[in-house]
Every structure is written in C-alpha cells, then in structure tokens.
Structure 1
Amino acid sequence: MCRPAGQGVGRVAMQHALKGGHGVALWHLGSHPDRACLPECDTLHARVEKFLETLGSLAELPDRLRRVRQDISEQRGDSAWAEPLALLYDDPRRPLPDEDTEPVDAPL
C-alpha cells in the first residue's frame, strides 16, 4: 500500500485488511497526496511486486526485508526503494499474548 496506514485512505484500507483477516501488509510510511498517486507509487508497486516474486513463502518476508534494510544501512545495492516500507506480519506460530500479561518482548 503506497499510503500511510495511520491516516486518511491508508488508515481505512489498513482497517479493512485487518478486519478481513489479512496477516501480512507492506505499506509506505511517507506522505501521499489525498487524491492521486505519484509516479513514485508506480515505482514502489513494481519494486515490491518484484521483491515478493522472489519469496519462496511469506514466512521468509520478515527476514528478507531485514536483509534489504541492512543493505540500505550499509549503502549496498539498489535497496533505497525499501527504506520507507513498514511491515505488518502476524505470524500464526506466535499468537499474541493475553491482554493482562507483562510487556511483550520484540520477536527474535
């Protein structure tokens, strides 16, 4: 999704995705015009599509995105396109704890 998930159309889209049971989402953290996409959105969509085509399974997605981010931080390759991406990944093997538990640690 090329729109920020915290406001406007992006927020509505994220709410629909979550209510629909989708456990995986990639979205752009940066700003976005209210009405239409920019040419950068087409580039982002194409790069994400190409990135996802190389996955063997969705379980690989978090680690693959982490490696792309490492490439960005080390200024290796053409990975800057992924810098503004955020990932929602609800791993069914790691269910959320009950609400009355202690603070949750970050996953490994």
Structure 2
Amino acid sequence: MVDHANEPESCHVPGTDRKSHHSETTKKNLVTRLNRIEGQIRGVKGLIDKDTYCDDVLTQIAAVQSALNSVSKILLEGHMKSCLVERIQDGDLEVIDEVLVTVKRLMK
C-alpha cells in the first residue's frame, strides 16, 4: 500500500473555491511555527507593558518578522511546486501574474 499522506492534493478543482493542498506534515509544521510566533507576539506585548528598552523590543520584533518570513517561504515554495505548475500545465498563464503580485507583496 502506498502512503499518500505527504503528497499534495489537487489545488485546482473546477467549480469550487480555491483551497490549500498541504500535506498533514506541512500543515503541522506551519501550525507549530505560527503557534511559536503567536507566543513571540505575546512576549513583545509583555516587553512593552514592562517598559523594556526600545532597542530590545525592536530586536524581538525583527525575530517575529523573520519567523513570519520563514512561514511565507514554505507556503510560497509549496504553491510554486504544485498549484503554479498545475495551473500552467492546464494552460492558465494568469497564475504567473498572480504569483508575481504575491512575491511583490512579500518583498515590501
């Protein structure tokens, strides 16, 4: 029996809303990272409540931004390796413009 748990499902189902296609392993990884980021945000709020030196708070904010960027990279890679390829193979070249807009947004 072949284990398909880590294989992405189709990300383009005609007639339905767009959905993510991540394996359970990827979802678990993303949720773990986001939970950690959530804790970091609470920590930053605590630093502000304690009147912590601004530079120290900014350092923690930079760490949160870096962690969010890591989540974005994982999502973008998965999107490009599955949805983007699939839609191009289906002749949907508009997806290239879509991903360019997304990349520009991420690079702000």
TM range (shorter): under 0.3
More strand by share: 1
Higher helix share: 2
TM-score, normalisation: structure 2: 0.28
The structure, 1 or 2, with the larger RCO (C-alpha pairs under 8 Å, 6+ apart) is 1
- Looking at CA atoms only, which structure, 1 or 2, has the larger radius of gyration? 2
